[in-house]
Amino acid sequence: GEDVEQSLFLSVREGDSSVINCTYTDSSSTYLYWYKQEPGAGLQLLTYIFSNMDMKQDQRLTVLLNKKDKHLSLRIADTQTGDSAIYFCAETPGTYKYIFGTGTRLKVLA
Amino acid sequence: DAGVTQSPTHLIKTRGQHVTLRCSPISGHKSVSWYQQVLGQGPQFIFQYYEKEERGRGNFPDRFSARQFPNYSSELNVNALLLGDSALYLCASSLAGFNYGYTFGSGTRLTVV
């Protein structure tokens, strides 16, 4: 089936690191993505990782990919209140569509 | 630079009516995709168009249709609206394929009453 799984909620204190996890389904996905959605807004591309990579770092964001377990994670260092949002991972089976996860709501406590 | 623009931002329709949603991609982007996001869920793929041709269709009924115009803008049409069609409809564009990520618009919030 096409069920990309994420935990629903994550709460962290400001300044701590956040780790958002995702389990995807299609091992043929060439790219895997992380998007952020703030209330009432569309989706903002945060970062992506190519399937032949294990890790990608982009400023405060670190993406880890475990292809064997089909596990993707997003680490946000020094989490700020502005990081509070819903985070979606997405896989790309085939060549034209994304399959999004259920989304993880991150709440950052001051 | 203008991002992906969608219109209208909000819309209320009655069951059985028809609706047309519009999307203007980022200048130079030739690929447009449509997604439906029901409250509390992740976006679900509806259509992808590239160079005015349909390249992919998600698991949606024939009541949903779309097209892409010569200027690469796009319309999503939904006929015989059902209460379950109430959702945020997102348009996304990219230069060609999706490899470097789609840019999403802010969406059209459709409420069917």
Phi-psi sector, A40: left (phi>0), alpha (psi -120 to 50), beta = left
* B100 pLDDT above the threshold of 80: no
**What is the distance, to the nearest Å, from the Cα of residue B103 to the centroid of all Cα atoms in its chain?**
13
Written as six digits, the tokens of B19 are 């609706």
A53 touching B (Cβ < 8 Å): no
A108 touching B (Cβ < 8 Å): no
Q: Are B42 and A89 in contact (CB under 8 A)?
A: no
Q: Percent of chain A at pLDDT above 70?
A: 97
Contact: B41, A98; criterion CB under 8 Å: no
B59 touching A (Cβ < 8 Å): no
Chain segment A2-26, per-residue pLDDT in tens: 689 999 999 999 999 999 999 998 8
